[in-house]
Chains A and B, each alone.
Chain A
Amino acid sequence: MQKRLILDGPLLEITVSRLCQQLIENHQDFNDSLILGLQPRGVFLAERIQQKLEKLLQKPVRMGYLDITFYRDDFRRRDIPLEANTTSVPFIIENQKVILVDDVLFTGRSVRAALDAMIAFGRPRKVELLVLVNRRYSRDLPIQADYIGINVNTMPSQRVLVEWESHGAKKDNIWLVNN
């Protein structure tokens, strides 16, 4: 297994800062905007962004966890069913601006399921997508991100591995892995 580093700790910090600045540019004080992190791995990035935004804005920013397991389109098509995670959306998203956050955008199927899952909590005014890694040329569905950390050209056989220091890894690193 070969792996190539595509984003290391310091650069990741700069990237997250830039994404936060872009969010503030579009959402200003976040009064009617909120963040939904996709379970299981998008929530790490969502937490990081929430912390950073709260520091920059000097006020609390609403964040929820969205689990998409029951909304996936590959149920019964996998060898082993996926384990469900917690969904926690402790606010009404009706008429709010929602920013969906995930670590990697690949086929777009998770985001489609997330849109479906999100609707159970109300009708948002606007939905945007933020991803750390955008894998180009690999989409199965017409879904694109509004905020992108880094664009990478990948082959379907490759895998993007995002490691978070806050969740068990030695350092923050993003790798491109050849299987």
Chain B
Amino acid sequence: MSQLSVPHLLGIKNLSVQDLELIFQTADNFKDVINRPIKKVPSLRDITIANVFFENSTRTRLSFELAEKRLSADVINFSSSSSSVKKGETLLDTVNNILAMKVDMVVIRHSSPGAPHFLAKYIKANIINAGDGTHEHPTQALLDAFSIKEKLGSIAGKKVVIVGDILHSRVALSNIFALQKLGAEVMVCGPNTLLPKYIGQLGVKVELDIDKALAWCDVANILRIQLERQQIKYFPSLREYTLYYGVNRQRLDALDKPITIMHPGPINRGVEIHSDVADSEHSIILEQVENGVAIRMAVLYLLAGAGIEQ
């Protein structure tokens, strides 16, 4: 099949394994394109895409914008801090107004879980979720899985640990769905207060001791502590968190094998990850960023190709 089973990318949960493989295969082709002397293809030249960001973002927004431009789409950007949302407009009204300007696809980031699903129900455009609150961040999970596949050759049978603030992380949830669909074993590791109560029901292993988790895994995906989403204190101090969960050189040197280090960014150096780990030869953090553009090109291309009619 050369078509996704869905008209929108709302989450990894409703994608099939075939969808994931098709996205990876297409991303392979786009990765080749973005390494050419001329990095642009004309595929989406008659398509207009709105990047609607109700929440701050650097990497994801730049990555989407670059992917759209590499595909020759017309791009409009919107961020809530400089818009009429501040004047009391609803989400649906804002997006409908944007669509009235004849937009074909909407890339949306919103602090409320389910905002993209809500739009998909009411709006005639392909919707791509670029992160909805603490729910999902599908393109990040896709590029993470793609990067693991590129580094290790395959995903099936690999052991991946996600370390840190699982409770507030949309990256964690999307990663768990994607990696499990592709046959990897997934573990989450963090202080008890930052692990969702029912996380075990997703079929993941739970480990509180970082050293045991690192000894078990082939890949460690280290997440940021999302202080901006934490209404209460989940641990005594950042210093204590770093002491117990910060990944540093000593912890890696104590292992009997090298493990691949990932981080979705932004990195808080010296908190969840130390510089000597983030910049080490086993870190694929910058490869993740490069693959992000290829993955987003693949998603945009495949969704645009499918159209919105079905």
Q: Which residues of A contact B (CB under 8 A)?
A: 67, 69-72, 75-76, 78, 80-87, 116-117, 119-122
- Tally B residues with Cβ within 8 Å of A: 24
Contact A87 B43 (CB under 8 A): no
B32 contact set on A, CB distance < 8 A: 86-87
User: Is chain A's interface secondary structure helix, strand, loop, or mixed overall?
Assistant: loop
Beta-carbon nearest neighbor of B303 in chain A: A81
Q: Which of A71, A81, A85 contacts B41 (CB 8 A)?
A: A71
**What is the distance, in angstroms, from A91's C-beta to the closest C-beta of chain B?**
12
Contact B29 A82 (CB under 8 A): no
As a 0/1 sequence over residues 30 to 49 of chain B, the CB contacts with chain A under 8 angstroms (1 = contact) are 00110011101111101100
Which one of A69, A86, A119, A121 has the greatest number of beta carbons of chain B within 10 Å? A69
User: Is chain B's interface secondary structure helix, strand, loop, or mixed overall?
Assistant: loop
Chain B residues 1 to 51 lying within 8 A of chain A, measured CB to CB, are: 2-3, 25-26, 29, 32-33, 36-38, 40-44, 46-47
**What is the distance, in angstroms, from A76's C-beta to the closest C-beta of chain B?**
6
A121 in contact with B42 given A81-B2, A82-B2 (CB within 8 Å): no
Answer whether residue B305 sits at the interface, using C-beta atoms and an 8 A cutoff: yes
Beta-carbon nearest neighbor of B33 in chain A: A70
A83 in contact with B2 given A67-B29, A76-B304, A76-B305 (CB within 8 Å): yes
**What is the distance, in angstroms, from B146's C-beta to the closest C-beta of chain A?**
15
B40 contact set on A, CB distance < 8 A: 120
A70 contact set on B, CB distance < 8 A: 29, 33, 41-43, 71, 301
Q: Which residues of B contact A (CB under 8 A)?
A: 2-3, 25-26, 29, 32-33, 36-38, 40-44, 46-47, 71, 301-302, 304-307
Contact A75 B43 (CB under 8 A): yes
A82 contact set on B, CB distance < 8 A: 2
CA of A84 to CA of B23, assembled, Å:
11
CA of A84 to CA of B2, assembled, Å:
9
CA of A67 to CA of B48, assembled, Å:
25
Contact B38 A75 (CB under 8 A): no
B46 contact set on A, CB distance < 8 A: 76
